[in-house]
Chains A and B, each alone.
Chain A
Amino acid sequence: MDNKNDVIEIKNLNKWYGDFHVLKDINLSVKKGEIIVVAGPSGSGKSTLIRCINYLEQFQEGQIVVNDVELTDDVKKIKAIREDVAMVFQHFNLFPHLSILDNLTLAPIWVKNTPKKEAINTAMEFLERVGIADQAKKYPNQLSGGQQQRVAIARSLCKNPSIMLFDEPTSALDPEMISEVLDVMIELAQEHRTMVCVTHEMGFAKKVADRVIFMEAGQIIEENTPEEFFENPQSDRLKLFLSQILSH
Chain B
Amino acid sequence: MAVYNQVETREAPSNSKGMVHWLRTNLFSTPLNSAMTILGIAFLFWVIPPFIKWSIIDANFAGSTRADCTGDGACWVFVRAKMDMFMYGFYPEVERWRIHLTYALFFVVIATFRYLKQAMPKIIIATIYFIIAFVLIRGGFFGLETIDTNKWGGLMLTIVVASVGIVCSFPLGIILAFGRASKLPIIKSVSVTYIEFIRGVPLITILFMSSVILPLFFPEGVTFDKLLRALIGITLFQAAYIAEVIRGGLQSISSGQYEAADAVGLSYWQKMLLVILPQALKVAIPNLVGSFIALFQDTTLVLIIGLFDLLAMVQVTGSDSHWLGFETEGYVFVTLIFWVFCYSMSVYSKSLEKRFNTNLK
Q: Which A residues are within 8 Å of any B CB, using their own CB?
A: 54, 56, 79, 82-83, 86-87, 89, 91, 93-97, 106-107, 110-111, 139-142, 155-156, 159
Contact = CB atoms under 8 A, between A and B. Distances in A.
Contacts of A159: 264-265
Nearest to B359: A141
Interface in B235-258: 254, 256-257
A141 B357 CA distance: 10
A93 B265 contact: no
Contacts of B263: 54, 56, 82, 86-87, 89, 156
B266 A97 contact: no
Interface stretch (B44-52, B133-141, B270-278): B270-278
B267 A89 contact: no
* B contact residues, range: 20 to 34
Contacts of B257: 93, 95
B279 interface: yes
Given A106-B274, A141-B358, A95 B260 contact: yes
Interface in B306-359: 356, 358-359
Chain B CB within 10 A, most for which of A86, A89, A107, A142: A107
A45 B254 CA distance: 21
The 4 A-B pairs of least Cβ separation, nearest first, read A93-B260, A107-B264, A139-B358, A93-B256
Contacts of A56: 259, 262-263
A208 B259 CA distance: 27
15 contacts: A79-B265, A86-B264, A87-B259, A89-B256, A89-B259, A93-B260, A94-B260, A95-B279, A96-B358, A96-B359, A97-B282, A106-B264, A140-B358, A142-B361, A156-B263
B275 A95 contact: yes
Given A96-B279, A107-B264, 11 more contacts: A56-B262, A89-B260, A93-B254, A93-B257, A96-B358, A97-B279, A106-B275, A107-B265, A110-B266, A110-B270, A142-B360
Contact of B266 (A93, A111, A156): A111
Contacts of A96: 279, 358-359
